[in-house]
Structures are given as C-alpha cells and as structure tokens.
Amino acid sequence: MAGSAQVAFSRAAATYDAAAVLAQEVGRRMAERLAYVRIEPKRMADVGCATGDGILDLIQHYPKAQALAVDVALPMLQVVKGRSGFFDRLRGRAPRLLNADAGQLPLVANSLDLVWSNLMLHWLADPLPALRELQRTMTVGGLLTFSMLGPDTLKEIRRAFAACGIAPSLRTFHDMHDIGDMLVAAGFADPVMDMETITLTYRSPRGLLRDQRHLGVRNGLLGDLPWRQWRQVLAAWQRVEGALPATFEIVYGHAWKPEPKVIADGRAVMTFHKTMPK
C-alpha cells in the first residue's frame, strides 16, 4: 500500500466500522466457506485485518489456534486490541498484533497454517510479491483464503464516465483468472477461484463518497479527478427504481501450500514410496 493510501487508511480507524458494510458481508461469506474445509490450524493470521472482524471470526471457528492480526495501519490494530476484553487476553484468546506490510512480513518461514485476507490484496499495485511472501510464511498443507475486488466493480459509474466522454479515474482490478495465475506463480497449488457481485444502493452520490472516505479508500478507489468533471459523471450515474446502484465484483480464492519441489539450495526434491511385492 502506497504511503498516502496508508495514511488515509490509518486515519479512518475511528470511522471504518460504520461504513464497512461490504467488508463485513464478504467476511461473513468467507467464514461460511470455511465450514467446508477440513483444517485444524495451530497458528493463523488475518493479513490486512482492519478493525478485526476477520480474526475474531477465525478465533470463534478455531479457538485452540494462536491468532495473529496483521495490518499496515497501526491505528487499526489499536482498535483490534480494544475489541479484546481482559478475560480474552487472560485466557489467551485475544489475537496477537503485528504492524507490518503484507509484502514484508517479519515472520519465520513455515509458521502459519491458515492465512485469511478480506478485501485487501487488490489495494496492492502488484499482489504477486505479497502472495509469494504469504506462501513463504505458510506451512506445507496450509491454506490461503482471500477475497478481492474484481474488474466489474462500480460498473455503473464506469458507464457514467463513458457517457460523459471522460477517461475513468477509477482504480482497475485484476481478473480472477489473472489472480489464479499469480497463485501458481507464487508457489501455491490447487487454486480455486470464483466470483459474485454485491450491489449496494445509495440515495445520492454523497453516500458513496462518504462511505469510501470513512473507509479510508476514497482516493484509492475513485481516483483523482477535478470536481467539475466528477459532477458531470455523478449526474450521469443512472438510477434504478429511484436509487443509485453501486455494484462490487467480489473475487474469492483459496489455495494450498504444496510440498516443495526444490529446496533452498536449488536441489530438486524427490519422494520415494515403498511398495510391497505381490
């Protein structure tokens, strides 16, 4: 995450939860998917945890696991700390906190059995280095599960830009097939990708602008455009049944860390299986 974006996200810690309807809903759906996965992690992390909804859900699912909340914005981690009560900390059920960038985690290799990341990776200019870093920190057989915004996000506003003949300033997002290729390039195995859309509605453009400001991502999502042009674009945003629709494409993915084929010094790993003679 770039420096200016990190500052904006840090400043949004106090207002984030009130506007995080989408992140909360996507996190709930991610948690439901874990019910179909057989895994009993000893150590797990929410990377890009924001105010902690994800890591608190993981603690409910896996109460015996050590939990780690990771975020580049220290004020977000302070909110996470405040959500953990004294008795949670006393019983060891409060998450440990780590202020770090997803691309440079101060964690030893092969230390995490489950990594969760909800709507964070798309803010990185290139998610591949972060995916490689996550793979490094994971144990063999560990699971990465994540969500990201996809290219059809805010398609209604993109159409408004086209109608006005103005080059869109909105952030562009990777297609789920490209993300699947990145997972393989990062060393993951058996990636599974799927997508759905979630549409929020607003009474006026101010609602969308307010939410994105409270989330700390307004400029990161909408880009930098003179207000005169923004007025044109927002005036061209088409209403449906009296409301302004804002569609978000949600890309879900999960992948496993396989047995290494090459060890650190470059030698290939070969596995031999003993068979009994007939």
Tokens, residue 185: 């390039």
Is the residue at 10 inside a domain? yes
Task: Please report, for the domain that includes residue 20, its CATH number.
Answer: 3.40.50.150
CB environment 184-218: b (16+ within 10 A), e (fewer): eebbbeebebebeeeebebeebebbebbbbbbbbb
The domain in which residue 98 lies consists of 3-150+172-196+249-256
Is the residue at 265 inside a domain? no
Q: What percent of the chain has pLDDT over 90?
A: 85
Model pLDDT for residues 230-278, shown as the tens digit of each residue: 999 999 999 999 999 999 999 999 999 999 876 655 655 544 445 555 5
Is the residue at 232 inside a domain? no
Is the residue at 235 inside a domain? no
* Number of domains, the chain: 1
Q: What percent of the chain has pLDDT over 70?
A: 90
Least Cα distance to 249 among 211, 202, 186, 193 occurs for 193
Is the residue at 237 inside a domain? no
Kindly state the helix (H) or strand (E) to which residue 156 belongs, with its residue range: helix 155-164
Model pLDDT for residues 84-119, shown as the tens digit of each residue: 865 566 666 799 999 999 999 999 999 999 999 999
Q: Are 223 and 169 in contact (CB under 8 A)?
A: yes
Is the residue at 32 inside a domain? yes
Other beta carbons within 10 Å of 144: 23
pTM of the model: 0.90
Is the residue at 238 inside a domain? no
Is the residue at 160 inside a domain? no
Least Cα distance to 73 among 8, 27, 118 occurs for 8
